[in-house]
Structure 1
Amino acid sequence: MRLMVVDLGVSRGGVPVLEGVNFSVEAGEALVLTGPNGSGKTTLLRTLAGLQPPHGGKIVVPDSEAITYAGHADGIKAVLSVRENLDFWARVHGGKDIAPALDGFDLQALADRPAGSLSAGQKRRLGLARLMVTGRPIWLLDEPTVSLDKASVELFAGAVRRHLEGGGIAVMASHIDMGLDVRVVDVTPFRARAQVTRTFDEAFL
């Protein structure tokens, strides 16, 4: 199992953001993307997830169905209970047992509560618990610890650690230390150079 990025270029709104990105992540490894706000981390993750096309280079994965993505939105249905949300995603991805996800994110006591009534941190835990029922080996995570308190960050780190121990891969954009053994890639050196538009007079020089 490997995720490999070769000379990748990504764009936001048709404007190049990153160019010449190269890295690979092997089974059992985690990689953290760093860089200032607006540097292209989210755009890169969305491109890796297949939500938008690259404008250059290539992404090599064993199977497009190997990837699951967790962005800023929690992706939960407010009218369904915590258990029903996880059951829904488990059925979509082949009927995985949801008990490890409930346990892993300390959601057992909330299992029958409507998701819409949860706090921001609880909703985030539920959104991340979805990763565990997909059965997909490559996790792409955009600022996964937003809204999480210290105890919940530790739960998340434990879930990632178990995923890696099982041969999974995790690529995350994050600014905090989660106590994981990770490789760090700063996207700043890959930022695309601003395109200069010539003025009308310059066009005739």
Structure 2
Amino acid sequence: MSLHVKDLSVARGGRPVLQGVSFDCAPGDALILRGPNGIGKTTLLRTLAGLQPGLSGEVDFPEESGAYASHADGIKAQLSVTENLTFWAEVHGGVLDDTVLEDFDLVDLRDRLAGTLSAGQKRRLGLARLGVIGRKVLFLDEPTVSLDGFSVKMFADWLRDKHLGQGGIAVIATHIDLGLEAPVLDLTPYKAAQDAAGGSDEAFL
């Protein structure tokens, strides 16, 4: 299983933002996306994950193996930590493995209602979903928002050892050094020209 991206162009609101993005990721690879705010990191990740169409180019990886995670924690406030993770595991045809509670320091919080958690605890619970859905290709948009240094390291350890270490792939937009041995792709050279084909008017056609 691999991720192959060739000459991909993506748009936001009908307006091209990135053009000609190409890269390959093999099992166990991570890729860090960098670039100034607004350049199109989120748009690129959403397009890679299949949540919106690209303007042109190729994105190739096994169907049903990808997952996109953004700033939203995606948790149900009225359910407990364990119930939230069980829900996501079952949605994806699996069962909850309690080791994920250890991986994200949630053991002592397992019976707490998600709505009563702190911002950092909610973020850890949101990220713990990645450990129960069984998806091999992860598209992660600033995954460490609201996390302290200890929790950032915890997530990085899980990503390196439990995901990448077992043949997974991760494409990550982040300004934080996660301590991963991963190449960095600066998106600045791929910024679409102002006169690139397409435009904001196309969003209304």
Alpha-carbon separation, structure 2, partners of 1:101 and 1:50 = 27
Contact kept in structure 1, 2:25 and 2:169, CA below 8 Å: yes
Contact kept in structure 1, 2:49 and 2:68, CA below 8 Å: yes
- Could you tell me which runs of 5 or more consecutive residues in structure 1 were left unpaired when the two chains were aligned: 197-205
How does the TM-score come out when normalised to structure 2? 0.93
Alpha-carbon separation, structure 2, partners of 1:195 and 1:73 = 33
Written as runs of structure 1 = structure 2, the 5 A alignment for 1:19-98 is: 19-63=19-63, 65-98=64-97
Instruction: Tell me the CA shift for residue 178 of structure 1.
Output: 1.1
Larger radius of gyration: 1
Contact kept in structure 1, 2:139 and 2:170, CA below 8 Å: yes
2:116 partner letter:
S
Contact kept in structure 2, 1:86 and 1:98, CA below 8 Å: no
Cα deviations by residue, 1:103-124 (Å, 9 ceiling, x for unpaired): 1000011111111111111111
Identity of aligned residues (%): 62
Alignment of 1:112 with 2:111, yes or no, is: yes
Contact kept in structure 1, 2:35 and 2:187, CA below 8 Å: yes
Structure-2 residue corresponding to 1:160: 159
Alpha-carbon separation, structure 2, partners of 1:165 and 1:106 = 20
How does the TM-score come out when normalised to structure 1? 0.93
1:124 partner letter:
R
Q: Matched residue of 1:7: which SS?
A: strand
Alpha-carbon separation, structure 1, partners of 2:116 and 2:157 = 26
Structure-2 residue corresponding to 1:15: 15
Cα deviations by residue, 1:95-150 (Å, 9 ceiling, x for unpaired): 23331211100001111111111111111100100001011111110001110000
Cα deviations by residue, 1:46-105 (Å, 9 ceiling, x for unpaired): 001111000110101122x00011111111111111100000000011123331211100
Written as runs of structure 1 = structure 2, the 5 A alignment for 1:130-149 is: 130-149=129-148
Alpha-carbon separation, structure 1, partners of 2:95 and 2:60 = 26
Root mean square deviation, CA, Å: 1.0
Alpha-carbon separation, structure 2, partners of 1:194 and 1:37 = 17
**Structure 1 stretches of 4+ moved >4 Å:** none
Q: Matched residue of 2:179: which SS?
A: coil
Structure-2 residue corresponding to 1:122: 121
Alpha-carbon separation, structure 1, partners of 2:46 and 2:94 = 26
- Could you tell me which runs of 5 or more consecutive residues in structure 2 were left unpaired when the two chains were aligned: 197-205
